[in-house]
A and B are shown apart, each in its own frame.
Chain A
Amino acid sequence: MRRKPFPWHITVFLAPAVLIYTLFMIYPMLASLKFSLYQSLDDGRQVFVAFGNYIKLLTDPNWKEPFWNAFWNNVVFFVIHMSLQNPIGLLLAVLLASNIRGAWIYRTIIFTPTILSVVLVGFAWKLILSPTWGIWFPLLDRLGLGDNEVAIALLGNESSALITLSLISVWQNIGIPMMLFLAALIRIPSELIEAAQVDGASSWRVFWRIQFPLIVPTVGIVAILTFIGNFNAFDLIYATQGALAGPNYSTDIMGTFFFRTFFGFQLRPGDPNMGATVAGMMLLIILAGVLLYLYGWQRRMEEVQF
């Protein structure tokens, strides 16, 4: 619009970013999807099998069992984040937004685990919960759980390992919803809240009648970010439980399942085609979540806000 000759400068500004992004993000993603539609023959040739690999993943007993196990474990992982991390993050944000002294110190401290590597956090918790160290034991004795096998080795039992790891992950990542909620709460005009307080509204009422309705859009953003992050998680499980996601695959999630399928484990060789298929399923799950958010949630939000 502004100029007539071919706008070379626009190309120059955009090209480097578009090139790197296309080459190392979009192209590999498409190549991986294409790869999931092929199978390797013994002589190394690739044959097109259409959705054969996906059907195998969902129906072949050797594949469907670990796949659904990883999927449902991932759902548990996500549900724990949604029901603990986000409400507690919101509570902390409301407390931090209440104009108390030293709020920035609390905020800085509570965000610290989020900037640490998952590997370090996972391992530190693994040591702390380790029965060899037994830091935990005096507390267990006091609670009358001193002889409880599960409580002694929270990461070593099938029934408790996944929940324990989810809680470690909540401990680490709570800073993100806290900050996003805090940012939304700070943007609410203080006159609104003060007016309600002058009228004698309790903090509880102020929260539900004024603050919460105004931060509902952030609730949606936090939910979808949690969903994407959880269904893409890998580091914590790999660092604490190894690629086998023990005990007995009870902590296996999509990320670790993808890694094992692609690279192989123990005596089973890696299978890049099936690895790409698992990645394709993960993409499908994440896209389903994103679309649900965009069409189900955000559209409704727009209707409410006109």
Chain B
Amino acid sequence: MTGSRYRWFRVFKISGIHATLLAYSALVLFPILLVFMNSFKDQMAIFGEPLAPPTPETFSVDGYKTLFEIANFQHYFLNSLIVTTVSLVLIVFLGAMAGWALAEYEFKLNTFMAIYLALGIMVPIRLGTVGILRLMADWHLVNTLTALILVYTAMGLPLSIFILSRFFAQLPPDFKDAARIDGASEYRIFTLVLPLVRPALGTVAAISMIPVWNDLWFPLILAPSEKTKTIVLGAQVFLGQFLNDWQAVLAALSLAMIPAILLYMLFSKQLIRGLTAGAVK
């Protein structure tokens, strides 16, 4: 192949790659942008010109007004925030403690514990719902955020322990041995190594966050009361009730998507690193 023909071929190939990726990106963005755009239009314009962006004549925020008057979205948002934050702290911190124990110490039940805790990676926690609901009912935890936090912590721990124990195992031994010779207790050593795996902690938090924030199943079953609704359940119920108020429905969809997209922008680096690390067999 001559040089110029080769160059032409390369240009052609790279344009093809960009065209494919651009087309797919458009397919991804189209529904999301369509919902956002139409949430700022009046009912007439939503139906008349669905593909047109809002203009000064068609601009309207009536949907958002209905939303704030009727649904308690601020409250739902707060519930989601509390549940997700507390669960994540527990998943990361308790996961780090257990991961450290499995990676650092040799004891009789080590392998058994590692396998026992890893079962939860493969088996979905939802399949124990009948048992979970009875347990929560016995402990009077139905319709509390505590119930959700406990379930999500149990759900997130297996992967957290699995990933973190691998990171702890990769730490060089010199540092720990030096601390031990200095007479540091095992608890003290743990607090010293924890900052060393900080990127891994961020990664675990990022990949554990999505299923917790977005879950519909457990809020629906364990905490459906108005007081404890999360944003996903709140949006689901609102969307079902206001089916015919398109402005309100589009506004609710947009508003519920925004926090997730903001979190994604903040944490996408950790998230992508996490997926990459998790892929190592």
Contacts and interface: CB of A to CB of B under 8 A. Distances in A.
For chain A, what secondary structure do more than half of its interface residues adopt (helix, strand, loop), or is it mixed?
Answer: helix
A61 interface: no
Contact of A279 (B35, B129, B135): B129
Interface stretch (B13-21, B57-65, B67-75, B195-203): B13-21
A203 to B, nearest CB: 7
A30 B130 CA distance: 10
Residue from the set A109, A228, A290 with the largest chain B CB neighbour count within 10 Å: A109
A133 B212 CA distance: 32
A223 interface: no
Interface string A167-198: 00001000010011011101000000000000
B181 interface: no
**Number of chain A interface residues as a range:** 35 or more
Interface stretch (A16-24, A76-84, A154-162): A16-24
B50 A133 contact: yes
A32 to B, nearest CB: 4
B169 interface: no
B178 to A, nearest CB: 15
A135 B123 contact: no
A127 B35 contact: yes
B154 A120 contact: no
Interface string A90-131: 011001101010100011111111111111110111011000
A18 B151 CA distance: 13
Interface string B198-242: 000000000000100111110011000000000010011001000
A96 B21 contact: yes
A127 B46 CA distance: 11
Contacts of A279: 126-130
Contact of B107 (A10, A107, A109): A10
A286 B28 contact: no
For chain B, what secondary structure do more than half of its interface residues adopt (helix, strand, loop), or is it mixed?
Answer: helix
Interface in B170-211: 185-187, 190, 210
A1 interface: yes
B130 A275 contact: yes
Interface residues of B, number: 91
A283 B235 CA distance: 30
Nearest to A117: B214
B199 to A, nearest CB: 16
A7 B124 contact: no
Contacts of A275: 129-130
B89 interface: no
A112 B98 contact: no
Contacts of A17: 94-95, 97-98, 117, 157, 161
A180 B275 contact: yes
B261 interface: yes
A301 B156 CA distance: 29
Interface stretch (A49-57, A205-213, A230-238): A230-238
A266 B32 CA distance: 34
Contacts of B101: 10, 13-14
A29 B25 contact: no
B131 interface: yes
Nearest to B221: A263
B113 to A, nearest CB: 7
Contacts of A31: 128, 130-131, 134-135
A4 interface: no
B235 A115 contact: no
A118 B257 CA distance: 11
Contact of B236 (A119, A124, A176, A184): A119
Given A24-B151, A127-B35, 5 more contacts: A14-B101, A28-B134, A128-B34, A180-B279, A272-B130
27 contacts: A1-B106, A9-B187, A12-B97, A13-B101, A16-B97, A17-B97, A21-B117, A23-B135, A24-B154, A25-B120, A25-B155, A29-B131, A32-B127, A32-B130, A92-B21, A95-B20, A106-B21, A110-B25, A112-B28, A117-B214, A119-B216, A120-B253, A124-B31, A124-B34, A133-B246, A218-B279, A221-B279
